[in-house]
Amino acid sequence: MNIQLADPIKKYFEISNAADPAGLKDCFNTDAVVLDEGGTYQGHAAIAAWFSDTRQKYAFSAKPIKATRQEQHEIVTAEVSGNFPGSPIQLSYSFLLNQGKIQSLQIA
């Protein structure tokens, strides 16, 4: 399935699957927030640490399979495979964009 993703979201998945946190700052605003597994990570340093820890823990890859819009949020459903029970699973990534970058990301 060929889905259209906004540039910062597309870039996020590319960086995520390449396992290189260096480009994350190009995707996220400086005060951006990520909500994942009950944790809240705000700012470039915290987001990079969350990303590195999550990559190390799960060695995952995420393939976007569906994208929709709900009010101001871009909702991307992705098939996520990795080192965790039940792999692969589908997760919902809720992105809020602001000024061409990700302002918030909630993964559920």
Running DSSP on this structure, what letter comes out for residue 68? E
Q: Which residue has the higher pLDDT, 97 or 19?
A: 97
CA neighbours closer than 13 Å in the CB half-sphere of residue 6: 20
The pTM is what?
A: 0.93
pLDDT at position 79 is 97
Q: Domain ranges for the chain, please list them.
A: 7-107
pLDDT in tens, 48-93: 999 999 999 999 999 999 999 999 999 999 999 999 999 999 999 9
Strand 28-36, strand 39-42: pairing:
antiparallel
93 touches 105 (CB < 8 A): yes
Q: Per-residue pLDDT for 18 more than 90?
A: no
Strand 73-81, strand 89-98: pairing:
antiparallel
Q: Per-residue pLDDT for 10 more than 80?
A: yes
CATH number 3.10.450.50 given to 7-107: yes
- Our CA angle for 77, 36, 38, nearest 5°, is 135
